[in-house]
Amino acid sequence: MGRIAKYTRRTFLGIGAVAAGGFAVGYYYYRKPYENPLEAALAEGETTFNLFVKIAADNTITIIAPRAEMGQGIQTTLAALVAEELDVTPSDVVVEHGPASPAYLNQAMLRMGGPFPWFDESFGAGALRGTMGVVSKFLGLQVTGGSSATIDAFQKMREAGCVAREMLKAAAAERWGVSAGSLQTADGVVTNPANGETLTYGALAAQAALLNPPSDLELRPRSEWKLLGKPVDRVEGREKVTGGRIFGIDVQLPDMLHATVKMSPRFGVGAKSVDINPALQVPGVIDVQEIKTNTGQGFGIIAENTWAAFQGAEALDVIWEDAPYPLDDAGMGALFDAALADGEAFELGGSGDVETVFAEAEPDDILEVDYKVPFLAHATMEPMNATAQFRDGKLELWLGTQAPGISQMVAASLLGIETEDVTVHTTHLGGGFGRRGEADFPLYAAALAAKTDGRPVKVTWTREEDTRHDVYRPRVEAKMRAVIRDGEAVALDIRSAAPAIMPSVIGRTFPSFPAPPDDEPILDGLFNQPLGIANRRYQGVVVDLPIPVGFWRSVGNSQNGYFHEAFMDEMAEKAGRDPLEFRLSLLQAPEHAPAKAVLEKVGEMSGWGTPGPDGTAKGIAHMLSFGTWVAQVVQLRDEDGAIRIEKVWCAADPGEVLDPRNFEAQMISGINFGLSQALGQKITFADGEVQEGNFYDFDAMRMWQSPEIEVAILETAPKMGGAGEPGTPPALPALANAIYALTGERIRTAPLSDTVTFV
């Protein structure tokens, strides 16, 4: 293997473009580029051009797509970004997730998360987005989440393809003694059109990598795109229809042991006493080990096969410590009541003078109601699992994770080794939805791998363990108030109470980090919605309840979409106006134009305003989340007293769409995920333990319940938004509003199936 040229000019990666307003300390470190982690692990004859491109002498071209593929199609779209500039076809190249490295940080994710509306282009909002990006560089977060992956990659991965292509052309030009500008590239080959001579990228790679990268990059304009903006088949499609061994649970290693865990069903405590003998007597069970981590305490049952481990876990006789929090839903409810009544609140956004408007309002003009949603599990199809091997002081992990760097850090810290001594192999994920960014499943695998004398161990959770040890979408309760005078909305006042997500995540993952003072997810999807009401106030109150909570597809928007948009329907009704017309009247500001456009579009698609067939009714909702503006209309049919969700129309505007077919699939997926919440999903507590355990008591939408879905994509918004999450928030309120239209019943508590019967 030849000398590998160090890539000297890495600011092309776009990292340097982030303004570091007010963040002078550590500026040098911030500008210092990361090492290219591919350099450490090149195969014979392989050359790397940058973080995203490897080319071998045999012309095998590898694109690194360093984001978790959990169904959202990200690896295909990321590969297409590089391929568009590199002039290769995604199906002809190898697409790999690549190593865990801070060089693959996701700056867009943190930049998108600040306490400013997406359409706020003020100096304050820009500076804060910049600062969040800088923080992400310090933390080196290689995370897939927040529907941010394409936004983060859009510039830097096209640049990576462009740089490699230009260096390959320069190498060919050197060999042929012609100017690089006269050469052409296509399908992994450089051609000299003057004489028809060709050289493959593989034949040029080693030489090309020694050249200086170009200093001026000219990315291809949209009009010249061959791949982007068009449907690209999934690079892993064939594996997914042939039973490919691509998931964490499919990992098979020589001499591998199988294990499962039985963790305390009460959060934050461990075992009072245990008898491990009944477990050890199960044929095939080899060992039982105690596990103590920041994320949970309990036991690992190590066996010859997964079935034996599961039986061992069932046989294990443990008495757990008592729960240090209210034991059931009613007891927890008292905390919510107190928080809503007089808990200390933080405020985000808002305008005008809500207090005065309410004080001076006629009682008849005031609308005041309460909304509630329960804790929810993620219920990914693939239960949590990870495989670990610990030998010679080094740990290897194989797992489907949304955060390989976090897995690496927490496992290293548990075993008392350096982060560099942990190698993470990121597999495909059998669903993520926010669950697989957590540290618990790699931690337990690492803990058990330390007890198996160097043998690898695959730790697979049962479905029950998965459901009862999730990081839940929080239970949330909100007081919604509005003043409606003469058919116009004058004031909106929302006070919402929930256990805080950020302190929960940070507390169990990085206990030494300070938790943020408030919790933006409680109000995300409320304060940052486009809405032209003069007087608005958004208050969040943190409920001190130590049930682990986390990121659940669309996070705060998952409940706030329901609260905001179902209440918007109530406001429209009080104003005596049509729900669509009422919404449009509140979206007159120029920066709200995309909301208006998607609402008008979905109205047109669904025939809003014209009565549908007998026994049917429609509801509408709009939400801006993760930078994408989404309006939906749900149509219901009364089938002998049961409600069928018959059809959903969706108009979405993400500004710019890189793969329209995949974007549509993500909208459909998000809608069905959002509607599933209505159909019976709730996590409840008794004796401090989660009561639900498997799909018979925590289910999701099935084929016979699934509606026909029609999606229209608009591209009018000024900034690129995400795809994975924004389809979810409007689905539940559009459904609730349709139920009101069908039955006259306002449902303000999820799941809606507690009040009405669905097909």
Using CB under 8 A, pick the residue from 12, 116, 119, 310 that binds another protein: 310
Candidates 372, 394, 463, 644; binder of another protein (CB under 8 A) is 463
The answer to whether 141 and 405 are in contact (CB under 8 A) is yes
Q: Looking up tokens 């749900």, which residue turns up? A: 634
Does residue 674 contact residue 727 with C-beta atoms inside 8 Å? yes
Of 548, 567, 535, the C-alpha closest to 500 is 548
Residue placing its CB nearer to another protein in the complex, 326 or 693: 693
Task: Specify the pairing of strand 616-625 against strand 366-373.
Answer: unpaired
Kindly state the tokens that stand for 230: 């068009």
- Of 562, 561, 525, which is closest to residue 540 (Cα–Cα)? 525
80 near another protein, judged by CB under 8 A = no
Note whether 71 binds another protein by CB under 8 A: yes
Tokens 């000297």 belong to 8
Q: Residue 245, interface with another protein (CB under 8 A)?
A: yes
Of 325 and 698, the one with the shorter C-beta distance to another protein is 698
Among 684, 706, 743, 753, binds another protein (CB under 8 A): 706
In whole angstroms, give the CA distance from residue 681 to residue 756.
14
Verify binding: residue 554, another protein, rule CB under 8 A. no
Q: Does 649 bind another protein (CB under 8 A)?
A: no
3-state secondary structure of 68: coil
Could you say whether residue 673 binds another protein (CB under 8 A)?
Answer: yes
Identify which of residues 131 and 380 has a Cβ nearer to another protein in the complex: 380
> Pattern 257-296, binding to another protein, x per CB under 8 A?
-x------------------------xx------------
DSSP letter (8 states) at residue 276:
-
Q: Which of 426, 606, 672, 677 binds another protein (CB under 8 A)?
A: 672
Under the binding rule (CB under 8 A), the answer on residue 73 touching another protein is yes
233 lies in the binding site for another protein (CB under 8 A):
yes
SS3 469: coil
Closest CA to 523 of 498, 505, 504: 498
Helix axis angle for 149-176 and 201-208, nearest 10°, is 90
Q: Which is nearer to another protein, 284 or 326 (CB)?
A: 284
- 610 three-state secondary structure: coil
- Cα end-to-end span (Å), the chain: 63
Interaction residues for another protein, span 583-622 (CB under 8 A)? none
Select 159 or 465, whichever has its Cβ closest to another protein.
465
Question: Of residues 358-397, which lie at the interface with another protein (CB under 8 A)?
Answer: 379-383
Binding-residue total with another protein (CB under 8 A): 65
Near another protein by CB under 8 A, which window of 31-39, 245-253, 437-445, 632-640?
A: 245-253
**Interaction between residue 722 and another protein (CB under 8 A):** no
Q: Which residue, 323 or 445, has its beta carbon nearer to another protein?
A: 445
Nearest distance from C-beta of residue 631 to another protein, angstroms: 19
The answer to whether residues 627 and 525 touch, using CB atoms and an 8 Å cutoff, is no
Shortest reach from residue 414's CB to another protein, in Å: 26
- Enumerate residues 6+ apart whose C-beta is below 8 A from 359: none
State which residue, 577 or 644, has the beta carbon closest to another protein: 644
**CB contact set of 94 (below 8 Å; sequence gap of 6+):** 60, 61, 62, 63
Backbone angles phi, psi at 286, to 5 degrees: -105, -40
Closest approach of another protein to the CB of residue 240, in Å: 3
Residues 336, 343: Cα–Cα separation, whole Å: 9
Backbone angles phi, psi at 622, to 5 degrees: -135, 140
The answer for 688, left when phi > 0, alpha when psi is -120 to 50, beta otherwise, is left
In whole angstroms, the minimum distance from the beta carbon of 561 to another protein comes to 17
The number of beta carbons lying within 10 Å of the beta carbon of residue 271 is: 18
Q: Give the nearest distance from C-beta 725 to another protein in angstroms.
A: 13
* Widest distance between CA atoms in the chain: 86
Among 695, 716, 718, 757, binds another protein (CB under 8 A): 695
- 105 binds another protein per the rule CB under 8 A: no
Q: Is 236 in the site for another protein (CB under 8 A)?
A: yes
Decide if residue 230 touches another protein (CB under 8 A): no
Footprint on this chain of another protein (rule: CB under 8 A): 69-73, 231, 233-234, 236-243, 245-247, 249-250, 252, 258, 283-284, 305-307, 310, 379-383, 428-433, 460, 462-463, 661-662, 665, 668-673, 676, 694-696, 699-704, 706, 708-709
